[in-house]
Amino acid sequence: MTDAHIAAVGTSPLGWTDLPGRDLFSRALAETFADLPDPAEVVDALYVGAQSERYENQIMQGTLLAEWAGLQNRPAERVEACAAAGALALKNAVRDVRAGVHDAVLACGVEKMTAGGTEGATNALAAAFERALEQRSGITAPSQYALIARRYLHETDVTEADLAEIAVKNHRNAAANPRAMFQREVDVETVLDSEYVAPPLKLYDCAPVTDGAAAVLVTSERLAADLAADSVRVAGVGTAANALAVAESNLTYLEGADVAASRAYEDAGIEPGDVDVAEVHDAFTVCEAMLAEAVGFAPEGRGVETVRDPAERSPGWTDVHINTSGGLKARGHPIGATGLTQAVEAYEQLTGRAGDRQIPDAGTALLVNEGGLADAHTAAHVLTGV
Amino acid sequence: MSDHDITQTGPLAPEDVTADSPFTLPGFFDALGDGRLLAGRCTDCGTHLVPPRPACYECGSRAVTIEEQPRTGEVVSYTAVHRPPSPFSDLAPVTVAVVELDSGARLTGRVTAPVEEVEIGSSVAWRARDPDEVGIDPSAHLPYEEDWPVHEFELTR
């Protein structure tokens, strides 16, 4: 098996922009290939994660983005699992390179979420949940996660103020991330005083609606060396689909995330305690706490200590630093691109390019990208420095 | 198969998967319109499946049978949707809950009470309604959903 490496990364600005999806992709691609030959000289195939055609009334995103990158007659296809789409594009690219099918595959993601306004985004996102009984009851993404959060708070001693601290921590991290949508700190009162979207979740517990694109070049180890690229190794991959309906989900433990991360750890030959930095899917603050528990960083019920310095956490916690990018909450959450923006942060941490948010000696990273209700779909990757 | 032979247990033959089978959504909603809420019940591991389907998600068995569900249950979790999808705008804020019926089966649905009156453990009973009477914009329905009832929960206490 050939080792797969990430040889280069790029993102568009993340936020509310005047650029349509294909142009956001062009921005990301321009960064990825700034120091490389033209994409047509390097890339054998392309995968694109895109959540919904409702935003821009455009499917065939594989063909479109390949066209915009100058990649005629290459294999190019869209993958979809709501917000896990970006990591699925990465997973497919890694699979193809490892299998020797291709030497270089472009994993990209794009979402133009603001195209239909808040109402358009609400309706498009609601399609990620079970249709027959749950959508027809008037649910939304925040309300589905609120049902998890309510039960989690009920069964643990975690409070809304504890969850608010996760938003505060992620805004603080984003303030040091030039790619982030919200490069500003917030205080805990701001979070707690924000309006309820679906109690116990408030506006500042929720990741924002974000326009954005990301492009990650996955190559064989040999091609990364030939390109003189500063690369990182994709050491482990694991995915798992769990229940679609919230009524059928385990409301307090994200079993699907546990399974996906365990597969990635096993593939990489590591343990949770080996992970230095992790980007986990904090679509809502409660998710970061629950994912820290599910992927083996924290004891059950103590995931909220993600905000603490590693030395000040409860016994059973690892020393991992979580969401150094600012997470979905503050870096931004362009649905189909999010899994790849996680990879971009890990790439920067593992290559020493993370500036003021650099974790010293970061050598191993975990990415956890989820789609639908929490662990309805989880895609996990382990990356290591070389 | 005969009409509504709800005792049937899978694996199903292809010709049994028809719109009058409770293992399909049309069959499930026909029964709901008649006041019967049907769950799949795995005869191997006991898991309930709402709506019914031909395979158990917990253990993978296809030995799933149909079990009529009780009216009453308890709230497992709840929230209020302050900004629901546009077809539900007239109902905002929409109280929704995950309910565990007295059988152990779970399903999510609207609760007709304000969220302030709902707690974990609140006793509720379901009923089936015409979605247009409830105030859901008919534009929400796909053509094949137009005659499907929508369930809701009332607090019983």
> pLDDT by residue (tens digit) across A333-345?
999 999 999 999 9
ipTM of the modeled complex: 0.96
* 3-state secondary structure (DSSP) of residue A7: strand
| pLDDT for residue A13 | 97
Angle among Cα A181, A184, A187 to the nearest 5 degrees reads: 125
Q: What is the pLDDT of residue B157?
A: 74
Cα–Cα dist A331/A339, whole Å: 12
Domains of chain B: 14-68 (no CATH), 72-155 (2.40.50)
pLDDT at residue B5, as a whole number: 58
A314: DSSP letter: P
Of the partner residues B77, B78, B107, the one whose CB lies closest to the CB of residue A133: B107
How do residues B121-137 score in pLDDT, each as one tens digit?
Answer: 999 999 999 998 999 99
What is the set of domains in chain A, with CATH numbers? 4-117+209-226 (3.40.47.10)
**How many whole angstroms separate alpha carbon A304 and alpha carbon A13?**
30
For A294-309, what is each residue's pLDDT tens digit? 999 999 999 999 999 9
A382 closest CA partner among A247, A257, A268, A262: A268
Residue range A235-244, pLDDT digits in tens? 999 999 999 9
Put simply, the answer to whether B80 touches A199 (Cβ < 8 Å) is: yes
C-alpha dihedral (A285, A374, B84, A85), degrees to nearest 10: 110
pLDDT score, position B2: 42
Kindly report, residue by residue over B92-126, the tens digit of the pLDDT. Answer: 999 999 999 999 999 999 999 999 999 999 999 99
For tokens 């990635």, what's the residue?
A264
Closest CA to A46 of A98, A112, A97, A100: A97
Which residues, 6 or more positions from A131, have their beta carbon under 8 angstroms from its beta carbon? Answer: none
Q: Which amino acid is at A312?
A: E
Q: What is the pLDDT of residue B74?
A: 98
With an 8 Å Cβ cutoff, is A122 touching chain B? Answer: yes
| Residue A83 DSSP label | B
Say which of B25, B96, B120 has its CB closest to residue A139: B96
- The average confidence (pLDDT) of chain A is 98
Q: What whole-number distance in Å separates Cα of residue A110 and Cα of residue A225?
A: 28
Cα–Cα distance measured from residue A256 to residue A261, given in angstroms and rounded to the nearest whole number: 9
Structure tokens at A236: 């482990």
Determine the residue of chain B that is closest to A199 in CA distance. Answer: B79
Does pLDDT of B7 surpass 90? no
